[in-house]
Amino acid sequence: MHVEPGFEAVRDAFLACHPAEVGGAQLCVYQAGVPVLDVWTGRDLVNDRPYDHGTLNVLMSCTKGAVAVCVHRPRAWPQRWK
């Protein structure tokens, strides 16, 4: 795991929200093009192994929230409407 100073609370909140018995999860956050947080937790239930940095994930509907904000709230992305 990789956690830059100042991102410990994000790591702790992420780990607290994902119990191992419901599967696994990964989170990677970039700031100005640099990874500042790269964490994982839980288990790969299909293969019965712990999640690690190389466990593959399936992403579904991961951008709907961001798109909804940008489409319905022009102030959230003002350069889009110029």
Q: Which amino acid is at 21?
A: E
**What local confidence, expressed as pLDDT, does residue 59 receive?**
72
The share of the chain scoring above pLDDT 90, in percent, equals 26
Q: How confident is the model at residue 61 (pLDDT cuts 50, 70, 90)?
A: confident
Asked if residues 16 and 8 have their Cβ atoms less than 8 Å apart, the reply is: no
pLDDT at 54 over 60: yes
Residue 12 predicted with pLDDT over 90:
yes
For residue 49, report the phi and psi dihedrals to the nearest 5 degrees.
Answer: -150, 160
As a residue count, the chain comes to 82
Question: Band of the pLDDT at 32, cuts 50, 70, 90?
Answer: confident
pTM above 0.85, yes or no: no
> Do residues 77 and 67 touch, judged by C-beta distance below 8 A?
no
Residue ranges covered by each domain of the chain: 2-81
Cα 11 to Cα 13: distance, rounded to the nearest angstrom: 6
